Chain A
Amino acid sequence: MNIVVLAKQVPDPEALVEISAGGKKLEIEQKFATNLFDEFAIEEALRIREKHAGKVKVITLGGGKATEVIRTGIAMGADEALLLEDEAFLDGDGYATALALSRAAAKEPFDIILCGRQAIDHDRGEVGQMVAQFLGLPHVGNVVKLDIADGKAVAESAIEGGKEIVEVQLPAVFTAQKGLNEPRVPQIMGVMKAMKVQIPKATLGDLGLSPEEAGLKGSKVRIEKYLSPKKRPPMQLITGEPMQAAAEAIRILIDVERVI
């Protein structure tokens, strides 16, 4: 069973993000973390391998700190990795990213592609589906349970107010939702292995792509402008005895804010 995990390093939820260049760019503090949903995908891949044997390969696209997600994957127990690193990949949208990732995944035969349901940076939730599309494969989204047997998968997806159980022929693409599993904490020996490992890289040419098909040039969607969320109104501190303060808080909620 060959399992490919598509994973991404995202800004740490605590990183400071500022809009710059008149709304065209984001300045992000250099603090990164593995995308939470991708951790579920890595964990699930490892569990499938533990049950059915085979190998797990983690693929990511990006430069600099992007390699950290691969090291995390290897520390957790992934067997192989591939880093798509090329200036030409920069500033691509979901479409361009999915195209590159699908080419990278298809370099070797595989049975399962797993990835997170969305990256928690842009929250678009589109790359997994597009990878399936590029490869002509079925896609099952929001997976919270995955059983593999006889070349088929039975997956449970979270849907509004309930669950949906589907059966699908492999190979297929699955996007992981919270609840799928509890990602393991890498072991010390795993981390040491991950720190030492040489990560194989692929460039545009290795994937058989032209510069027009990648990065900003290959993107269908352009970012027009970033806008800051509305600032929260200033905090109001109500002083005094707890009873009176609570009564005052209720008064404000009813008379001033009119929320109850």
Chain B
Amino acid sequence: MDKIDAVIVGGGLAGLSAAYKLADAGKQVILLERGDAPGSKNVTGGRIYVDPIREYLPEIINEAPFERHVVKEMITILDDDSSMQLEYGNNKWRKEPYMSYTILRARFDNWFSEKLMEKGVFVIPKKKVDDLLWEDGRIAGIKAGGEEIGAHIVIAADGALSFMAEKAGIRKPLEPQNYALAIKEIYKLDENTIEERFGLEPGEGAANLFAGSITKGMFGGGFLYTNRDTLSLGLVVGIDALIRQETPLEAYRLMEEFSARPEIKRWIRGAEQKEYSAHIISEGGIHGMPKVYTGGMLLAGDAAGFALNLGLTVRGMEFAVASGVLAAETANEALDKGDTSEAFLSIYEKKLKESFVLPDMETFRHSKEVLENKRLFTVYPKFLCELLDVLFTIGKGPKEPLYKSAMTVAKRYVLNWDGFKDIMSMRKM
């Protein structure tokens, strides 16, 4: 059987980036995507940081149809009936090159795949890969719908639950604490209204993160991003935490309660809900990573567990692009050498270590345990809201001195042994 140079499984950012680079190097590439088109199945919060990846794919990053460049960061801390909002802006974000953009993947991925086809990549949607082909103990292609496609190398970029990695026997068993559930809604709102409502100039965007009682003490939080003429609103909750709830609440109910909060309603008023989606996301950090290569195959993006939740920033797309490109470089060298053995492909890990991907995963190896602290989602939001409450409330009788009131609240919540431990644990991040 004639073999194709490379088969890429999955048309998300990792797969698309890998295909682009391999096609650039003159290799014959088939990219198989399960959805109707690349971008149709994935769920992304909606924000990409381009500085880390510009050098990997300059033509793509510089021309891409992003939504808005983010100039405004907002954080909303919520208690049951109160909330505080912080807004941070910096004029440097208003100047090119922009640091980050909001993004709608259906639009972006589709555009990206058109670029691939111009380069001669065979992008084939509506194809679910069922199994791998093996030859001499090495992966030698894929099976899809009864058809066998031989390939010198397979790049598995099939997302957080990578079945390819499972079939290849290199993925660790799935553990609930390594995954979170993300729910996302898209609301249509015209461009001018978005700019007026969020205080933005044309083309500018805002990002708002939400934490506190909306996740009922569970690991997670909410997000809101302004796209060109839509808003992406969503919620992320740890699967482990969802399972362990004392009074089980369905995830969609959390989302309903979240979007009904006045802190959200003010943004989505008059907007029409267009989409509802949900997906599993990797949150395991470096502990959740499988082995990222084996004979005849490389893993990239979410399939390799390359995702990092640092609370204020949640990153996955930059890792997907970088690992996709590095997987393509590795594959290209392997194809030129005619050696796709596990030993040769180990240079992939070396490349990842020399890039920002593995160093970032390593630096923040403890971020998950820090963020898993339940107090971050219960005690601290309550503390902040109550603190502001005592400072702002004027009641009937004589008011206590402000310092005294504040100390009372602080002692109740944070000035204690647990608070001290929390501060100590923050040092790990």
Contact = CB atoms under 8 A, between A and B. Distances in A.
Interface of A: 185, 187-189, 191-192, 195
A188 B124 contact: yes
Interface string B135-151: 00000000011010100
B224 interface: no
B54 interface: no
16 contacts: A185-B126, A185-B145, A187-B145, A187-B147, A188-B30, A188-B32, A188-B122, A188-B127, A188-B144, A189-B147, A189-B149, A191-B122, A191-B124, A192-B122, A195-B117, A195-B122
Interface of B: 30, 32, 117, 122, 124, 126-127, 144-145, 147, 149
A189 B141 CA distance: 14
Chain B contact surface mostly: strand
B149 A188 contact: yes
Contacts of B126: 185
A185 B125 CA distance: 11
Contacts of A191: 122, 124
A188 B124 CA distance: 7
A182 B126 CA distance: 16
Contacts of B117: 195
Given A188-B122, A192-B122, 14 more contacts: A185-B126, A185-B145, A187-B147, A188-B30, A188-B124, A188-B127, A188-B144, A188-B147, A188-B149, A189-B147, A189-B149, A191-B122, A192-B30, A192-B124
Which of A185, A188, A189, A192 is most buried by chain B, counting CB atoms within 10 A of its CB?
A: A188
Nearest to A195: B122
Nearest to B126: A185
A117 B277 CA distance: 36
Nearest to B142: A188
Contacts of B145: 185, 187
A191 B4 CA distance: 14
A188 B125 CA distance: 10
A167 B30 CA distance: 46
A121 to B, nearest CB: 19
B182 to A, nearest CB: 24
A186 B117 CA distance: 18
Nearest to B129: A188
Contacts of B144: 188
B151 to A, nearest CB: 11
B387 to A, nearest CB: 36
Contacts of A185: 126, 145
A188 B147 CA distance: 8
Contacts of A192: 30, 122, 124
Contacts of B32: 188
A174 to B, nearest CB: 28
B110 to A, nearest CB: 10
A187 B126 CA distance: 10
Contacts of A187: 145, 147
B35 to A, nearest CB: 13
Contacts of B149: 188-189
A192 B30 CA distance: 9
B37 to A, nearest CB: 9
A77 to B, nearest CB: 13
Nearest to B32: A188
A191 B30 CA distance: 10
Nearest to A14: B36
B269 to A, nearest CB: 17
A33 B144 CA distance: 22
Nearest to A187: B147
What are the nearest 6 A-B pairs in CB distance? A191-B124, A192-B122, A187-B147, A188-B149, A188-B147, A188-B124
A214 B145 CA distance: 43
Contacts of A189: 147, 149
B152 to A, nearest CB: 16
A192 B144 CA distance: 14
